[in-house]
Chain A
Amino acid sequence: MLTLQENKAQNRIECEKVSFPLNLAFPSGILGFEEVKEYVLQPLPDLNPFFWMEGVTGKKNAFLLVPPAHVLESYSIELNQEDVDFLDLKSSEDALIFNIVTYGPNQTMTVNLKGPILVNRHTMVAKQVVPINAVELPTTFPLNN
């Protein structure tokens, strides 16, 4: 089990100077889109802090992502050992965390905190994980700027 914590004070993306775009491998795909195994992730120019993740194969589905540090004060997730092994995370520093944004009617935006996208920043292997503490986390957390 590994606990990852992201606080507004420190942003993993900025702190660790990740260079984009990232070519991500999703061996399990994403729930509902299991057949797409590769995505390209990049920041949206002029639309900081949002990111765009687009499937490379198949229907080329895309998602809008945001790092949790821009959504709430503190976000803590407990990963089970299977997910830690799947992503080959040796420490919490190996992981990048993103949350999927849903763009709703009337320009409302909500964020899925229950199923974050985790990326191993060294291997580029990624997975949508459901943390052990998922029951406390909503899939429709309102995003207010």
Chain B
Amino acid sequence: MLVLSRKANESIVIDGKIFLKILRLEGDSVKVGVNAPKEVTVFRKEIYDEILKSNKAAAAVPDRKDLQLILSKRLH
């Protein structure tokens, strides 16, 4: 992990296209501004982890034909 120290209003550049700026220090929390190309997604990590886990579980869906069989048993 690369560790950098920044003061308020200082920034970090990632890959020449993603810009992180430390906007404000408020007690034990930091306000961070992010400027990135629109296809680049930015998430709070805990939300990212939760959605990733959910998506991966959801993608392990039974094959469409099996699913139709299972769902029709459930719905009818």
Contact = CB atoms under 8 A, between A and B. Distances in A.
The reply to whether chain A is a binding partner of chain B is: yes
Interface of A: 27-28, 30-34, 44, 46-47, 50, 52, 54, 61-64, 82, 85-86, 100-104, 107, 112, 114-115, 128, 130, 134, 139-140, 145
A52 B68 CA distance: 10
B58 to A, nearest CB: 4
15 contacts: A27-B38, A27-B39, A28-B41, A31-B43, A31-B55, A61-B59, A63-B61, A86-B38, A103-B58, A107-B74, A112-B54, A112-B58, A115-B51, A115-B55, A145-B74
Interface string B33-69: 0000011110100011011111111110110100110
**DSSP majority for the A interface?**
mixed
A52 B64 CA distance: 8
B33 to A, nearest CB: 12
Contacts, number: 87
Contacts of A61: 59
B38 A100 contact: no
Contacts of A101: 58, 61
Contacts of B39: 27-28
Contacts of A107: 70, 74
Interface centre among A28, A46, A102, A134 (most CB of B within 10 A): A102
Given A31-B41, A31-B52, A130-B51, A103 B67 contact: yes
A102 B61 CA distance: 7
B51 A128 contact: yes
B61 A31 contact: no
Contacts of A31: 41, 43, 48, 51-52, 55
Nearest to A109: B74
Contacts of B64: 52, 54, 62
B47 A102 contact: no
